[in-house]
């Protein structure tokens, strides 16, 4: 089974800029994370954009939908900021991308900072995408949720079913 | 869904003893890994033993089978050394533990050492165990294999289907 | 020889707040860093404040001077943000704290983020403070500089003699 | 001031071989540690050998003495296994290398494993070597000891003055 990972940024891929003290994006860490996980799946990694999901807008979501539609793979993982992950999931569901299993995931702590949930979530999402039937899902906190039955609890920072 | 993680040791949980320069076992790191992964699943962690899988024998495997049989949960992840993980999977399949989804996983690099595949594999195994039908599986390298169609390639250190 | 470490914050001790995505201060990491370094010196760790050095002002500097004056130890390391470390060094030199060896240090990357210069700089500062004659110094980038002959190069983020 | 770091191995530079589960040497991590420490000293790094210090013998010590004698620098740090660091220090003192400040250091936990004392010790040794008068010293646990007044306490794993 071939899998495509579409990278859109989010806390997942943030880095610390020591000169300014701010967080920023450079290249994605996903290939390194796959190496560290000794992942032997047939995976294509494609960077669509690198944005904080608070900056994600309709145009950004449309671009993600386009890339999913254009993917030859039917199993797709999307790394995304957690703040608006559910909104992007909804946009994907509305786009009617039938026959594809799409799993969105992210991280609460940048992979680059150590103590990150990044590798755990990536392993989780890559596993769910191989087994779940076509549809759009969010995979966070070890769980998967259908796109229309999940929200991010902004107090705890965790995702929960609704 | 309640999940039980049975810990048996393996490279997954090894630590470095700075006084002797050797690797040894102390307590399991699984609870810490679940915290780092911000895992919100209902998980019970039970340490059955802490051994290198080269030291795993029939008595050890019988003990693991007993603990699986005694678990109220039907979704069970077992952390295990990679060298004899397939043998233990076979023992579990032979034990006729019907109605349970059992996923074995481990790590090539101790979680304690950084650059480990531990969190990736744990996230992967916990996800597979939630969606696979009853049976015995090995989850390594991002993939899952039925117990009777997998082996560890000792040259590459990776698991492959046979 | 007894040494006192006065903690004032800076990037050295920043943490990542996963709920807001911002950096903040909680307790100092210095005791943990001393344990990781297996430091066997007789060290007292005292938190004076926890601020980014861009927020350091005359009142803050006066407080640091007071704590240096009040220290029974004659060997003092001060952890401090790098942006205004030289200004604080000047304030200490102007305070006429004779008989004390005072070494300021910090970090360009938070200790909590991995890949940090924190432990390297702490080991460096603790070594310089044991052997340098009384006076005020900055210890960064493996070097020590007299307080009146150093500046931070804001382009490279490194300290250099002037 | 130019400094030369002579690398001889020891726990400092050990790596974990995931295929065999053993520790081994590959290239030294010292250049990476200097980069992480943002070290701006003028440092030459030379690998003399990569051995566990339990395997250090007279021939090995003679080789180290030769490299110190051949160094144009008068400030030399030697990374070395902790078990026989004091013996090598003695061999250097006996060699009559006048006019050189020689500081030996090492680590109790491999740098590659995280939670290492490596960077702390390297920062410490590089600082001591810039300030101490000619002679042979051991720098561990934040302290420096003259070569003839130190031993490793094998119970605690720490160095102490005698």
3-state secondary structure of D61: helix
pLDDT computed for residue D146 by the predictor: 98
For residue B89, name the pLDDT band (cuts at 50, 70, 90).
very high
Tokens 């769980």 sit on residue: A143
pLDDT at B115 over 90: no
Cα–Cα distances (Å) from A118 to A75, B38, C143, in that order, read 19, 10, 36
pLDDT at C115 over 90: no
Angle between helices B118-131 and A118-131 (to 10 degrees): 30
pLDDT at D114 over 90: no
Interface residue of C119, C135, C137, C159 to substitute, partner D, most D CBs within 10 Å: C119
d(CA B51, CA B85): 12
CB-neighbour burial class of residue B160 (10 A; exposed 0-12, middle 13-18, buried 19+): middle
pLDDT at D126 over 90: yes
Structure tokens at C96: 């006429």
How do strand A14-17 and strand A22-25 relate by DSSP bridges?
A: antiparallel
Q: DSSP letter at A30? A: H
D21/B52 touch (CB, cutoff 8 Å), yes or no: yes
Mean pLDDT, range A48-58, rounded to an integer: 96
pLDDT at B3 over 90: yes
Structure tokens at D50: 């990569």
pLDDT computed for residue D16 by the predictor: 95
pLDDT computed for residue B11 by the predictor: 95
pLDDT computed for residue B114 by the predictor: 82
Distance of residue C23 Cα from the nearest chain D Cα, in angstroms: 21
Cβ count within 10 A of residue D139: 28
Mean pLDDT, range D92-111, rounded to an integer: 96
pLDDT computed for residue D115 by the predictor: 87
pLDDT computed for residue A115 by the predictor: 87
pLDDT at A55 over 90: yes
CB-neighbour burial class of residue A95 (10 A; exposed 0-12, middle 13-18, buried 19+): middle
pLDDT computed for residue B162 by the predictor: 95
**For every residue of A73-129, which 3-state class applies, written as one string?**
CCEEEEECCCCCHHHHHHHHHHCCCCCCEEEEECCCCCHHHCCCCHHHHHHHHHHHH
pLDDT computed for residue C145 by the predictor: 98
pLDDT computed for residue A76 by the predictor: 98
Structure tokens at C136: 């005020």
> Chain-wide mean pLDDT for chain B?
97
Mean pLDDT, range D8-14, rounded to an integer: 96
pLDDT computed for residue D117 by the predictor: 97
pLDDT computed for residue B145 by the predictor: 98
Contact (CB, 8 A) for C121 and C107: yes
Provide φ and ψ at C90, rounded to 5°. Answer: -65, -45
pLDDT at D143 over 90: yes
Distance of residue B128 Cα from the nearest chain A Cα, in angstroms: 6
For the stretch B15-59, pLDDT in tens is: 999 999 999 999 999 999 999 999 999 999 999 999 999 999 999
Instruction: Provide, rounded to the nearest whole percent, the portion of chain C with pLDDT above 90.
Output: 99
pLDDT at D54 over 90: yes
> Chain-wide mean pLDDT for chain D?
97
Instruction: Provide, rounded to the nearest whole percent, the portion of chain B with pLDDT above 70.
Output: 100
Angle between helices D118-131 and C118-131 (to 10 degrees): 30
For residue A114, name the pLDDT band (cuts at 50, 70, 90).
confident
Identify the chains in contact with B, defined as 3+ C-beta pairs within 8 A: A, D
Cα–Cα distances (Å) from C97 to A68, B11, C44, in that order, read 66, 54, 19
pLDDT computed for residue A38 by the predictor: 97
pLDDT at B120 over 90: yes
Cβ count within 10 A of residue A101: 22
pLDDT at A85 over 90: yes
Identify the chains in contact with D, defined as 3+ C-beta pairs within 8 A: B, C
D41/C116 touch (CB, cutoff 8 Å), yes or no: no
Of D41, D158, D159, the CB nearest to C143: D41
pTM of the model: 0.96
Instruction: Provide, rounded to the nearest whole percent, the portion of chain A with pLDDT above 90.
Output: 99
pLDDT computed for residue B24 by the predictor: 96
Structure tokens at D2: 């130019």
Contacts of C128 (CB under 8 A, 6+ apart): C103, C137, C139, C144, D127, D131
pLDDT computed for residue D135 by the predictor: 98
B109/D23 touch (CB, cutoff 8 Å), yes or no: no
For residue C138, name the pLDDT band (cuts at 50, 70, 90).
very high
Of B39, B131, B142, the CB nearest to A126: B142
Contact (CB, 8 A) for C12 and C118: yes
pLDDT computed for residue D48 by the predictor: 98
> Chain-wide mean pLDDT for chain C?
97
pLDDT at C101 over 90: yes
In chain C, which residue's Cα lies nearest the Cα of D107?
C37
Contact (CB, 8 A) for D77 and D48: no
Mean pLDDT, range C130-151, rounded to an integer: 98
d(CA A59, CA D102): 63
pLDDT computed for residue A121 by the predictor: 98
Contacts of C32 (CB under 8 A, 6+ apart): none
Over the Cα atoms of chain D, what is R_g? 14
Tell me: ipTM over 0.95. Answer: yes
Distance of residue C105 Cα from the nearest chain A Cα, in angstroms: 16
Cβ-Cβ contacts under 8 Å, A110 against chain B? none
Distance of residue D18 Cα from the nearest chain B Cα, in angstroms: 5
Beta bridge partners of B144: B139
């Amino acid at each position: 089974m071939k899998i495509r990972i579409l990278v859109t940024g989010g806390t997942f891929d943030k880095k610390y800029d020591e000169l300014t003290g701010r967080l920023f994006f450079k290249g994605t860490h996903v290939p390194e994370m796959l190496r560290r996980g000794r992942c032997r799946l047939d995976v294509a990694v494609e960077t669509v954009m690198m944005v904080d999901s608070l900056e994600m807008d309709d145009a950004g979501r449309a671009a993600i939908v386009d890339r999913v539609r254009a993917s030859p793979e039917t199993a797709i993982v999307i790394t995304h900021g957690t703040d608006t992950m559910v909104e992007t999931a909804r946009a994907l569901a509305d786009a009617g991308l039938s026959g594809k299993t799409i799993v969105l995931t992210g991280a609460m702590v940048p992979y680059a900072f150590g103590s990150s949930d990044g590798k755990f979530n990536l392993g989780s999402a890559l596993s769910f995408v191989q087994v779940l039937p076509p549809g759009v899902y969010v995979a966070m906190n070890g769980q998967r949720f259908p796109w229309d039955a999940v929200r991010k609890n902004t107090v705890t920072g965790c995702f929960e079913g609704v």
